[in-house]
Chains A and B, each alone.
Chain A
């Protein structure tokens, strides 16, 4: 373990261009996935929280269950879609960072939508009567509540980001772990482990954890500041 720590510090101190490239790509892929999943998932979760229609409860259960989608399965399905032999092969996305973003978006969309639904549903209890009294209903009411609880939704986003940056199954399959093109932190760790270079793998792992920790700390500070500002 001591060797791993030293390997990690040596890596970071060296400012190795390959390492920076890998970290940069990991952040790009996971943050893009979180952005896309948020754009799609927040409205979905909010509308699901405030509207009632036949089959709603089944959809809620399904969405909650999809939070546990195995990354390898998502990777496999997206691979089959993007393969030349598959329906979307002509887009030429396989083995590019784009494919990785798509796979991770699919993976974390249920997490963000389901957690958002829960948060909005809980807030809805508080806001519902007043908003309806003012004549605000349906989608407009959902979006008002959504915007009002935006800082607590940060937790949902962080959950999605955590899942995305930690997974290796999906990005390995659709990205191919190509040196310099689709190699991210998790696939690099998998590679170094299988090459038997365990200290290096552990070192990379520590760098990954440090990056995710920094993102979480930043989000926490943002929440605190917002709490003080808006009450």
Chain B
């Protein structure tokens, strides 16, 4: 057993030496944000300015917040306001700042079995999908997108947990796999615009419904509470938050485009 302890310490020592030179923070964020490519665009700017490396672990919103609860992250950056407020109420976060918003789109097969294409009312569209029992893929992974989807079912007065049928497919995975699955099954799926724009395997999928105000998706950034986890790198974490809501950070966010289209709309301080 002593040998095993020694091995752990050796690896830790090596890791420490490797990390010692690099100042960094750990940010728990969501897969949709990472897969949109936003971080690849933003983080080098922040690192160049402050010398702080930002290491993003991309999970679903629920898991990202859990990471914050465990103290494995210094900052959480997610998009599910009620869950974020609960996080702060429980004492795990210091303060919530709004950073940016994007929107969701309802994506579906070109053949449009539920007859919702071109619509502007997402709640009405979901009702039609439910009535026609058209194939629908749900992320089912406690992510911000999953949470938004569930809120929309509620708005449509549908108890989806109770009344779902075999047409409703919960895959428990991220936005990319959900789109892959929907493409493979010719199903509808709720996606954030960013992931959709950078998704390459569309098959016969197109945007069916967009523009509804209820598809609005707000992002919030929170410093993990150092009172709960003293190891949190609070100065560097706060520096990152301050930059994200500063004019410089907000402009950088607005500047990120895919195919000429802006993905995220900065709205800090609104």
Please give the residue numbers on chain A whose beta carbons come within 8 Å of chain B beta carbons, in ascending order. Answer: 36, 40, 83-85, 88-89, 91-99, 101-102, 105, 176-179, 181, 191, 193-198
Bound together, the chains give a CA A194 to CA B60 distance in angstroms of 14
- 10 A-B pairs with CB atoms under 8 Å apart are A83-B71, A84-B231, A89-B231, A95-B55, A96-B15, A98-B15, A179-B40, A194-B174, A195-B200, A196-B183
Known: A40-B3, A40-B7. A98 touches B71 (CB 8 A): no
A44 to B, closest residue via Cβ: B3
- Interface of chain B residues 129 through 153 with chain A (CB within 8 A): none
Bound together, the chains give a CA A89 to CA B8 distance in angstroms of 12
Known: A92-B12, A92-B15, A195-B200. A85 touches B70 (CB 8 A): yes
B175 to A, closest residue via Cβ: A194
Known: A36-B7, A179-B56. A84 touches B173 (CB 8 A): no
Residues of A within 8 A of B14 (CB): 98
Residues of B within 8 A of A89 (CB): 71, 231
A106 CB to closest chain B CB (Å) equals: 10
> Are A96 and B56 in contact, CB atoms less than 8 angstroms apart?
no
- Interface of B, helix, strand, loop or mixed by DSSP: helix
> Are A194 and B12 in contact, CB atoms less than 8 angstroms apart?
no
- Interface of A, helix, strand, loop or mixed by DSSP: loop
B202 to A, closest residue via Cβ: A196
Range of interface residues on B (Cβ < 8 Å): 35 or more
**Which of these, A36, A40, A194, A198, contacts B35 with CB under 8 Å?**
A194
> Are B72 and A195 in contact, CB atoms less than 8 angstroms apart?
no
Bound together, the chains give a CA A194 to CA B14 distance in angstroms of 32
Residues of A within 8 A of B195 (CB): 195
Bound together, the chains give a CA A85 to CA B228 distance in angstroms of 11
Most chain B CB within a 10 A radius of its CB, from A84, A85, A99: A84
A94 to B, closest residue via Cβ: B72
**Which of these, A88, A92, A181, contacts B8 with CB under 8 Å?**
A88
> Are B18 and A97 in contact, CB atoms less than 8 angstroms apart?
yes
> Are A197 and B56 in contact, CB atoms less than 8 angstroms apart?
no
B35 to A, closest residue via Cβ: A195
> Are B8 and A102 in contact, CB atoms less than 8 angstroms apart?
yes
A98 to B, closest residue via Cβ: B15
The answer to the question of B102 belonging to the interface, with a C-beta cut-off of 8 Å to chain A, is no
**Which of these, A83, A177, A197, A198, contacts B72 with CB under 8 Å?**
A83
- Interface of chain B residues 60 through 86 with chain A (CB within 8 A): 70-72
Bound together, the chains give a CA A105 to CA B229 distance in angstroms of 29
